[in-house]
Amino acid sequence: MAKHVGFDAYGVSSAGELTESINPFNRWISSGMNGEMGYMERNADKRLDPTILVPNAKSVVSVLLNYFPGNPIISTKPPKISRYALSVDYHTVIKEMLWQLLDSLRKEFGTINGRAFVDSAPVLERAWAQKSGLGWIGKNSMLINPKIGSYTFLGELIVDADIEPSTNQVPNRCGSCTRCIDACPTGAIISPGNVDGRKCISYLTIEKKSPLTLDEQKSLSGWCFGCDICQEVCPWNSKIEIQTLPSISPKKIVLEINEEELSVISEEKFTKTFSDTPVSRSGYNRFIQNCYGSKA
């Protein structure tokens, strides 16, 4: 059903408190590792229990969609943009697919009420995906699916219907590998599965609103929006297929920009090129600063 809509994988969990996530999440917040992401502290109860977020919630349907676009120059040669941000904003695309999935569920189970979520609400997406049997949380804190790796968009339907939970849990297969930890230029992965957001290049180029320090600018390692380093070195991403779904394929106008143009792009060209992509979130001025800082 979910694959008919276009998702690569899906799983189901019974809605309820994520008891195994409470202590790790609270420690992460109390240590200040969320940095300026104050929204992570708000609605913690809803983040840890979807029955508070969605009244009468009984099931969480988690989905994955591979977005890997290959290795375009704009993501491999500074100033670099993370692969997930090369296409139109995934929030809109995935949410529309989730509503299609909900319609399919209604045809099978009858009246179902619920909400769709895509990375913009208090939902611990990776925890639910893991619980639904879609993979494991890697040492870089990313969800890793054994067939499609970690270059995936996640989404959820939280509904008021009792849907049989998935029974096949995927064991952690990172083993003794530490490639992501060793490759992180800022040392943001402080322990397996535990990332200090304040050091993460994705945080520095997207989430942090205050000016970057000189040391932070020098730490960007060629990235001006996001960072893919821990995914690039992960063995589970070495053989994944390139996604060809038109709705999340890189925009031609984005792929055609070269590094010289990117650092001196006008605000008008920036808006024309990135207004409907995740890159617009940084804003023009911060993006230009990141581009210069990525070369420091």
Residues 152, 64 contacting (CB under 8 angstroms)? yes
- Pinpoint the alpha helices (H) of the chain: 2-5, 19-30, 44-48, 50-53, 73-76, 90-109, 125-131, 179-183, 201-202, 214-218, 229-232, 252-255, 259-263, 267-274, 284-293
Q: Can 8 be counted among the known catalytic residues? A: no
Tens of pLDDT, residue by residue over 17-47, are 999 999 999 999 999 999 999 989 888 899 9
Q: Name 144's bridge partners.
A: 136
Specify the 3-state DSSP secondary structure of 85. Answer: helix
What is the per-residue pLDDT for 296? 56
Which amino acid does the sequence have at 137?
Answer: I
- Those residues of the chain that have pLDDT short of 70 are 1-2, 293-296
Which residues, including other chains, have CB under 8 Å from residue 111's CB and lie 6 or more apart? none
Q: Name 195's bridge partners.
A: 189
Structure tokens at 261: 């143009």
What is the per-residue pLDDT for 121? 86
Specify the 3-state DSSP secondary structure of 224. Answer: strand
Domain boundaries, the chain: 2-291
Q: Rounded distance, CA 241 to CA 70, Å?
A: 8
CA angle 283, 263, 269 (to 5 degrees): 60
What is the per-residue pLDDT for 295? 64
Other beta carbons within 10 Å of 294: 24
Q: Which of 89, 119, 160, 276 is catalytic?
A: 119
Tens of pLDDT, residue by residue over 107-153, are 888 899 999 999 878 999 999 999 999 999 999 999 999 999 999 99
| pTM of the complete model | 0.94
Structure tokens at 204: 């520095």
